[in-house]
Structure 1
C-alpha cells in the first residue's frame, strides 16, 4: 500500500511540473522562445514542447506507458537542461541542476515503476 501511494504521489508531483510547464508556455511563450532563439533553435518549437509537456503530465497521472514515458521525459529534461546552463546566472544554473535531479527521479520511475494505482499495464 505505501509503495503504491508513494508511486502515485511521485507521479502526481512530476505531472504537476510538466503541466505547469505547459501552462506557462501557453500563458507566456516569450521566455521559452528567447531560450530557443539564443541556442539557435527555431522559436516555434515552443508549441510542440507545450503539447508534449501537457500530454506527458496527463500520462504520468494516468500511469500510461510509464517506462517508455519516463525514459523519454528523462531524455527531454537532460536535453532541455542545457538551455539553462548559463554560469553567470545563478537562477538559470539552479534550473539546470533541478532538471538533472528530475532526470534522476524519472530514471528511478522507469526502473521501479509507478505502483499499482494506474490505468496502464503493470
Structure 2
C-alpha cells in the first residue's frame, strides 16, 4: 500500500509540473511578465519550462528522485517569491502552497534517498 501511496503522490506532484510546462508553452507572456515585474531576465522562462517538464518525467518514473525532488523544492521556494504580495490574499495563498509543495518534495527526497 505504501508503494502505491508514494506512486500516486509522485504522479500528483508531476501533474503540477506538467501543468506548469503547458502553461509556459501556451502563454509564455504571462510568466515572462512575472519575471520582468521582479526585474529578472525573461529568458529564464525557458530553463524553468525545461525543469518543470524534466522534473515531471523524473517524478513519474522515479529517476534521480532525491536530486529531482530537491531541485523542484528549491524551484518552488524561489517561485514563491513572485507571489509574495501581502495585500492580495489570492497571491498569498499561492505563496503558501508553493512552500507546502516544497515541503512535500523535501519529504519525497528524504524517502527517495532511504529507498533504493
TM-score normalised by L of structure 1: 0.90
Kindly report which structure 2 residues correspond to 1:1-122, keeping only aligned pairs within 5 A, or say none: 2-113=1-112, 122=116
Residue correspondences, number = 116
- In the alignment, the residues of structure 1 paired with residue 65 and residue 44 of structure 2 have an alpha-carbon distance, to the nearest angstrom, of 24
- In the alignment, the residues of structure 2 paired with residue 31 and residue 92 of structure 1 have an alpha-carbon distance, to the nearest angstrom, of 15
- In the alignment, the residues of structure 2 paired with residue 94 and residue 59 of structure 1 have an alpha-carbon distance, to the nearest angstrom, of 27
Unaligned runs of 5+ in 2: none
Unaligned runs of 5+ in 1: 117-121
TM-score normalised by L of structure 2: 0.95
CA RMSD of superposed structures (Å): 1.5
- In the alignment, the residues of structure 1 paired with residue 14 and residue 57 of structure 2 have an alpha-carbon distance, to the nearest angstrom, of 7
Higher relative contact order (CA 8 A, sep 6+): 1
Structure with the largest fraction of helix: 2
Q: Deviations over 1:61-80 (max 9, x none)?
A: 00001011111111111111
> Secondary structure, in 3 states, of the residue corresponding to 1:113?
helix
